Amino acid sequence: MKISWGIKIIISFVVFAIGIGTMVGISMTKNIDLVSENYYERELKYQDRIDMINRTNSLTEKIIFDNTSNSIKIKFPGIFSKDNITGKISFYRAMDKKKDFSVDINKDENGLQIIPTDKLDKGNWKVEVLWKVNDKEYFTQSDIFIN
């Protein structure tokens, strides 16, 4: 049996409409997490963040992130080893914002903070460190892969 060209066009349109309907249905059920709930406020304060990054980049010694098999070691610059560092270390999981968490900076006398990774999901994490020393704020971030 031979199908006429008119029927072929109608079949093509029907298949196309079903495909578009399926894609719309799938996209409506997909959960999309924002990077930050208060992203507008963060954008307004972005110049402060740029100043912190420039201050951090001007340091002669940088923060070192060492990702070992069972912990993340964050080594603060030696010039701050005697100073009281305050701030937060934030971990962001792009795949699930429910996994995001922050810890207060609590370095040892060598300027080292160790964060165990046994409770972290495997995969890519974004680590942001915001710290303050002598009324000056510093900021750095790094991508870390947990095996």
Per residue in 93-131, pLDDT tens? 888 888 889 999 988 888 888 998 888 888 899 999 999
SS3 assignment, position 11: helix
Q: What is the pLDDT of residues 130-141, one digit of tens each?
A: 999 888 999 999
Q: How confident is the model over 7-63, as pLDDT tens digits? A: 999 999 999 999 999 999 998 888 776 666 677 777 777 888 899 999 999 988 889
The candidate with the shortest Cα–Cα distance to 61, out of 146, 142, 140, 1, is 140
pLDDT over 90 (residue 68): no
User: What's this model's pTM, rounded to 2 decimal places?
Assistant: 0.70
Nearest to 81 by CA among 119, 111, 48, 43: 111
Contacts of 115 (CB under 8 A, 6+ apart): 71, 72, 73, 74, 89, 103
